């Protein structure tokens, strides 16, 4: 077999190029620290590295979502705490307003203080986050959560949507509560029923908020408790027209029981005075406080007016307590979500560390092995170059000239 000079040269150069390419690849691995730089280096490992990188990118996004949700929920927790403190202050004012030694002017001043607290609560309910978005507006984050009309009546302006933030592949969390949930949909009265005095009453009878004796007997209809005389009463179910109690004997301060509930009337009701007992329903925090302020603004210069005021103040106290309990329940829900975020953050951090370790095992270069390979490749390249240089000097004409 004959090997021409051109073929010999071509093969030698190819060998040197191959050695140079391998040497350069090893040098690139050492300088970058990456054993797999292209899919051609290790197709299987490259595919796994891409998948791991995608999972890491998802975890990074989940981390951003977690931080955002944590910030908003912490702000909500603080806002609910502020609202609760304001309500406690208002409750103290209501107790103060019940002092029989106060006159109309004193009560009007208390009403003014309560109006100031209502404005503070309105500001809290319209809290914005660091992005300038309303916290309690649901999806309508650019819409002010609550607005008051010229009469002081406050209405909810947001929507009913809860913003769900993805914090893991299979878990999401609401990053706030709507204003309707937090401040509007609150059980009125004692949670089962409400009581009220007829505005036309002429006696000094005062009805309390009542309580449930046997929930199994309670029929959620509207009832009217009417005094047929200062010492007798009847109870009628307005929904059916049925007389529940026909001729009850009244003793001031004694419980009046019917349909599994009881109420207490104190004072001296006049004949034809009446009181209502109705299913609770829901009432907003602002409606409770607006009604309270209105009651304090009215003069109480007669026994009947004082009784009306006392009934209104008692109802207000019950409704304020219901609101405080409601805010406590919402706050507990917020706290549980914050705890869940903290737990998920820990889980995501552990997962990210595991992914980084797995990716490093596939991608990172083994420096000891790479340095050893580099040394061998350098020796091989030098040998190839030197052998080519030596052989390329051989020529038949050199021997023919001897």
Per-residue pLDDT tens digits for 163-186: 899 998 888 999 999 999 999 999
What would the mean pLDDT of 366-395 be, rounded to a whole number?
59
Predicted TM-score (pTM) of this structure: 0.79
What distance in Å separates the CA atoms of residue 358 and residue 368, rounded to the nearest whole number?
Answer: 20
Which of 323, 286, 282, 316 has the alpha carbon at shortest distance from 92?
316
pLDDT of residue 41: 58
Interval 225-277: pLDDT, tens: 999 999 999 999 999 999 999 999 999 999 999 999 999 999 999 999 999 99
pLDDT average, residue stretch 25-35: 56
**pLDDT interval class at 58 (50, 70, 90):** confident
Higher local confidence (pLDDT), 265 or 370: 265
Tokens standing for residue 120: 């503070």
Residue 8: the pLDDT is: 57
Q: What is the pLDDT of residues 327-358, one digit of tens each?
A: 999 999 999 999 999 999 998 888 877 876 67
When computed from its CA atoms, the radius of gyration of the chain, rounded to whole angstroms, is 41
Task: Compute the mean pLDDT over every residue in the chain, rounded to the nearest whole number.
Answer: 86
Residue 52, pLDDT > 80, answer: no
Question: Helix/strand/coil (H, E, C) string of 258-274?
Answer: ECCEEEEEECCCCCCCE
Mean pLDDT of 191-214: 96
Determine what percent of the chain is predicted with pLDDT higher than 90. Answer: 67
367 or 328, higher pLDDT: 328
Q: In this model, does residue 381 exceed pLDDT 60?
A: no
pLDDT band for position 365 (cuts 50, 70, 90): low
Spatial separation of the C-alpha atoms in residues 274 and 198, rounded to whole Å: 6
Per-residue pLDDT band at 361 (split at 50, 70, 90): low
Q: Which residue has the higher pLDDT, 15 or 100?
A: 100
Which residues have a Cβ under 8 Å from the Cβ of 270 and sit 6 or more positions away?
201, 202, 203, 205, 227, 230
Do the Cβ atoms of 394 and 12 come closer than 8 Å?
no
Helix 285-297, helix 303-363: angle, nearest 10: 160
Does the pLDDT of residue 6 top 70, yes or no?
A: no
Q: Which residue in the block uniquely carries the two structure tokens 């890491």? A: 56
The predicted pLDDT at position 78 comes to 97
Any idea which of 83-97, 308-322, 359-373 has the lowest mean pLDDT?
359-373
Distance CA 161, CA 208 (A): 37
- How do residues 120-168 score in pLDDT, each as one tens digit? 999 999 999 999 999 999 999 999 999 999 888 999 999 999 889 999 8
40 pLDDT band, cuts 50/70/90, is low
User: What would the mean pLDDT of 186-211 be, rounded to a whole number?
Assistant: 96
**Contact call for residues 344 and 66 (beta carbons, < 8 A):** yes
> What does the pLDDT read at residue 88?
97
3-class SS letters over the chain: CCCCHHHHHHHHHHHHHHHHHHHHHHHHHHHHCECCCCCCCCHHHHHHHHHHHHHHHHHHHHHHHHHHHHHHHHHHHHHHHHHHHHHHHHHHHHHHHCCCCCCHHHHHHHHHHHHHHHHHHHHHHCCECCCCCECCCCCCCCCCCEEECCCCCEEECCCCCCCEEEEECCEEEECCCCHHHHHHCEECCCCCEEEEECCCCCCCCEECCCEECCCCCCCCCCEEEEEEECCEEEEEECCCCEEEEEEEECCCCCEEEECCEEEEEECCCCCCCEEEEEECCEECHHHHHHHHHHHHHCCCCCHHHHHHHHHHHHHHHHHHHHHHHHHHHHHHHHHHHHHHHHHHHHHHHHHHHHHHHHHHHHHECCHHHHHHHHHHHHHHHHHHHHHHHHHHCCCHHHHHCC
Nearest to 296 by CA among 282, 308, 283, 284: 308
Q: Can you tell me the distance from the alpha carbon of 361 to that of 383, in angstroms, rounded to the nearest whole number? A: 34
pLDDT for 257: 97
Q: Residue 389's pLDDT band (boundaries 50, 70, 90)?
A: low
């Amino acid at each position: 077999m004959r090997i021409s000079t051109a073929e010999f040269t071509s093969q030698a150069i190819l060998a040197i190029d191959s050695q140079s390419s391998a040497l350069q690849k090893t040098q690139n691995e050492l300088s970058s620290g990456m054993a797999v730089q292209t899919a051609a280096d290790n197709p299987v490992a490259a595919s796994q590295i891409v998948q791991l990188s995608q999972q890491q990118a998802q975890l990074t996004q989940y981390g951003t979502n977690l931080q955002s949700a944590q910030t908003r929920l912490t702000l909500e927790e603080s806002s609910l705490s502020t609202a609760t403190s304001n309500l406690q202050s208002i409750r103290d004012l209501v107790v103060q307003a019940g002092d029989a030694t106060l006159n109309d002017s004193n009560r009007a001043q208390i009403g003014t203080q309560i109006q100031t607290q209502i404005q503070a609560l309105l500001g809290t309910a319209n809290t914005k986050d660091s992005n300038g978005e309303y916290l309690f507006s649901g999806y309508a984050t650019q819409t002010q959560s609550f607005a008051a009309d010229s009469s002081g009546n406050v209405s909810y302006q947001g929507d009913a949507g809860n913003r769900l933030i993805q914090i893991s592949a299979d878990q999401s969390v609401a990053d706030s509560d709507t204003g309707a949930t937090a401040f509007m949909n609150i059980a009125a009265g004692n949670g089962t029923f409400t009581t009220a005095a007829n505005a036309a009453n002429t006696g000094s009878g005062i009805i309390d908020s009542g309580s449930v004796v046997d929930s199994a007997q309670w029929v959620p209809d509207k009832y009217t408790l009417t005094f047929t005389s200062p010492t007798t009463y009847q109870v009628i179910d307005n929904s059916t027209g049925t007389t529940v109690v026909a001729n009850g004997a009244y003793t001031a301060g004694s419980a009046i029981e019917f349909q599994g509930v009881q109420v207490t009337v104190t004072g001296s009701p006049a004949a034809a005075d009446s009181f209502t007992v109705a299913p609770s329903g829901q009432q907003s925090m602002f409606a409770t406080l607006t009604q309270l302020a209105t009651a304090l603004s009215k003069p109480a210069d007669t026994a009947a007016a004082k009784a009306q005021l006392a009934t209104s103040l008692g109802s207000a106290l019950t409704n304020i307590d219901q609101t405080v309990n409601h805010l406590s329940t919402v706050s507990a829900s917020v706290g549980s979500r914050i705890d869940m975020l903290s737990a998920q953050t820990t889980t995501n951090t552990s997962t990210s560390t595991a992914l980084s370790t797995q990716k490093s095992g596939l991608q990172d270069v083994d420096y000891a092995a790479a340095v050893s390979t580099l040394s061998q490749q350098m020796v091989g390249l030098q040998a190839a170059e030197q052998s080519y240089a030596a052989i390329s000097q051989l020529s038949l004409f050199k021997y023919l000239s001897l």
